[in-house]
Amino acid sequence: MQNFKDKVAVITGGAGGFGREFARIGAQRGMKLVLADVQQDALDQAKAELEAQGAQVLAMICDVRKADQVQALADATMARFGAVHLLFNNAGVGSGGLVWENSVADWEWVLGVNLWGVIHGVRIFTPLMLECAKKEPGYQGHIVNTASMAGLLNAPAMGVYNVSKHAVVSLSESLYHDLQLVEAPIGASVLCPYFVPTGISQSHRNRPEDVKMMAKPTASQMAAQIMTDKAVSSGKVSAADVAHSTFDAIGDGKFYIYSHPDALAGVQTRMEEIVSQTNPSDPFAATPHIRDMLRAKMQAA
């Protein structure tokens, strides 16, 4: 996808983090924007900011866990703008702790947003985009699914998050191959950021009532939260940097998008262990102090 001017971009999780930066770049490139989020105040602020820049903006509350709400988003997009060219399945939440300590509500919340949100986006918007391609000469479209380096690696005390993001990588690769199979004029990419300050480590602030955390956090969950907060807040790569890299990748037709290419050394090690049938190596081998800190916090909590 090369031409962005006057094209329509739909962005879930569009009121903050990567989503808001995608919207800012889209506005700069003359796109019409559809922002979906669950946080009304942030959504209102993003809409006002982008409209002040001259962009046409449709902003909607949308819980991507819910198929009917994603369908309503698609319907409203078509009613307002008549087409979709660029889709960012970007909404995401984080949760940690020892994998056996995550509750059913934890699993339903994280998989609901991180995985089912992408499933609903792909299932509902891809056919719509294919229909748009039939009606618009020279149509070019693109779908970006936000995964994570946690979709390629498996850090301890992040199991529920890891599972959700591995599934998004698999779904995205399948989507890419399926679009290629039918020779669709639609590209696909998977974004795999590492620790980037976006607010995801505080995503529990928007955790819905139907999946609220009923019990007190376990020691491992509190320790994982502290470690994640520290890693995210100390990140040197910004959400704006990642958004610019993402738009560059869309223009170049690149599938895999990384914020920290150096982290791929761990991915290579994991792949080699899979092929050689070697047991998974210690992810803290090069940083034992982090493992020791995590253990200490879990024992002290």
Question: Which residues participate in catalysis according to the annotation?
Answer: 161
H helix or E strand, kind and range, residue 212: none
- In angstroms, the CA 214 to CA 94 distance is 17
139 touches 132 (CB < 8 A): yes
40-52 and 17-28 helices, crossing angle to 10°: 20
Six token digits for residue 199: 């607010």
CA-to-CA dists, residue 212 to 31, 106, 204, 206, 294, angstroms: 36, 8, 9, 10, 25
Tell me the CA end-to-end span of the chain in Å, nearest whole number. 50
117-135 and 159-181 helices, crossing angle to 10°: 20
